[in-house]
Amino acid sequence: MTPESQLPSPNNAQDFSDYEVVEEEEYSKTSETFSRRKNSEQLCPCTVTTVDDVVFMTLSLGLRHGLSWETQVDILKMMGSIFPSVNIPQSKSTYIKDLFNKDHDINYHIFCDECHSYIGKRENTSVTSMTCLTCNRELKATNPSNSFVTLSIESQLKTFLQDEKFVNNILTFRFTRQCSPGELSDVYDGQVYKNLSSNGGILSSKFNFSYNFFVDGVAYKKSNKSIWPIYLTVNELPYDERSKYLILAGVYFMSKDPNESYFLKPFVQEANKLSSEGITWIYQRQSVNSKVIPLCFVADSVARYQMLNMQSFHAYYGCTFCYQQAESVRGRPKFILGAPAELRTNASWMKDLCELSKTYAHETTLENRVYRGVKGSCNLFNLEYFSIEHVVVDYMHACLQGAVKTHMEFLIEACGSDSAEQVWTGLDNIRMGKEHVVKTIDDRIKLIQFNTASRKKIQLLSQMNKSWKASEFRSWLLFYAIPCLTGLLKEKYVAHLAMLSNAMHLLL
């Protein structure tokens, strides 16, 4: 997805022809899927594939494989020569214009970069300035440093609801899937979903469905800026179908991280409208209404505390899940294992806010205006059907790029030290250091014919800290680690790692 600060203004067609949205070969990998658009002209009577489908399939290829604009245009030209009777974009300018026209319901939102107040949606492209009612500053409405983009969730869902496969899945899958009693295999087996689906709950109707939403920052290459997308997945689809119907709800592109006070406000407003008023669509020639509700919020530790308006995880009350208080160890806060702490709930969250406003509101500095990790209210507190208990652990960062990476770094750093003989065995010379150990493991990786279930062959272990992605840490944990380390690592440490590997296999 193109960063919003690099998008031309809506209805400003002359901007597109010479506009370089991103550098050649430097596509953001924020999302591999944009969203299917409204039906348009079919390529020919023998297929239901439309021109819009071709455009977005080309964009998807470009994002996945890092194709330049010229390469994508050449693909479109090839399709145009095969289907000359339809209007497939044949130039870069018409391609970009087709991607970012008004059919997508793209909205530009203005915020104050000083006081972080949300000013509003830029309704008219002729508006060049807006006033912040909080600090009375006059802001340029065309300045990308105080604006971000949202895309209509409703319009994207309506497009999906024209897809027969999508409709059949959301109406039947959760009711017909095979699951043994007591088995936890999907979101439907959780207590929250069961409560919403029973006793006349909102999800007891087959026409109502739910979604998980994700927020994360993605570093932008060759720049100090980052992209923050908000995207949604529909829970009622089969697991392997969910990534095919991703919904992009918003994009923020800036050098500074977004503030939840303005970034999440449009999302919460539309989400509450979807859960209260719903979407009206046609099913079997009858008009039906579907209420769509949020279920889980997934974010890494950095995005999570920012979107909940809480203190950083480095603080003494830095956990967003419970009230475990960190202790100072060598001048740094550390969480010490002990008795389980009280979990955060909506009720305790409200108590914290009340205590904060009553006792700490007079504090002049933001650092002191905090209570038990809570800095103030946030937009997610106003999100209907949502609770702080619906914030879940981010498996990718916590396990793969966290525990697995840290575990391997610890083992490798032990090489060549006094503790090497306590950890490693089966090497000709343990004292040769970590280069020798890593090379030995690399030689084993080269001999392994990877399983197709791992989806991706991993790079050598020597490249771990340079270029391993989360998928490679997953493959290492599930498939490579045990055969690569058996006979090199002492048996008890191999067994320890095998328990983590088996546990993650069960959870996945």
HEC-encoded secondary structure of 54-79: HHHHHHHHHHHHCCCHHHHHHHHHHH
* Paired strand residues for 131: 138
**410 shares a domain with 366:** no
Last residue of a domain, one of 322, 346, 377: 377
Q: What pTM did the predictor assign? A: 0.76
Residue 40: pLDDT above 70? no
**Counted domains in the chain:** 3
Measured CA angle at 475 (ends 469, 480), to 5 deg: 125
**428 shares a domain with 353:** no
**83 shares a domain with 35:** yes
Whether 205 is covered by a domain: the verdict is: no
Whether 119 is covered by a domain: the verdict is: no
* pLDDT tens digits along 207-263: 999 999 999 887 766 567 788 889 999 999 999 899 889 898 998 888 888 999 999
**357 shares a domain with 317:** yes
Whether 453 is covered by a domain: the verdict is: yes
Q: Is 415 helix (H, G, I), strand (E, B) or coil?
A: coil
**428 shares a domain with 344:** no
User: Residue 63 has which token pair?
Assistant: 């994002």
What is the domain range of residue 58?
1-101
**361 shares a domain with 418:** no
Helices (H) and strands (E) in the chain, counts: 19, 15
Last residue of a domain, one of 324, 348, 377: 377
pLDDT at site 95: 82
**368 shares a domain with 415:** no
**421 shares a domain with 370:** no
Residues 294-306 as b/e (b if ≥16 CB within 10 A, e otherwise) read bbbbbbbbebbbb
Over residues 91-95, the mean pLDDT reads 83
Whether 421 is covered by a domain: the verdict is: yes
pLDDT at site 431: 55
* pLDDT tens digits along 344-402: 999 999 999 999 988 887 777 777 889 999 999 999 999 999 999 999 988 888 899 99
Least confident of 112-126, 279-293, 427-441: 427-441
pLDDT at site 290: 96
Last residue of a domain, one of 68, 101, 134: 101
Phi, psi of 354 (to 5 degrees): -65, -45
| DSSP code, position 390 | G
For the chain, give the number of residues.
Answer: 508
**96 shares a domain with 12:** yes
* pLDDT tens digits along 429-483: 555 577 888 888 999 999 988 766 655 678 999 999 888 989 899 999 999 999 9
**402 shares a domain with 372:** no
**401 shares a domain with 346:** no
**404 shares a domain with 442:** yes
Alpha helices in 108-228 (DSSP H): 153-160, 164-176, 191-197
CA distance 181 to 71: 52
Whether 121 is covered by a domain: the verdict is: no
Whether 36 is covered by a domain: the verdict is: yes
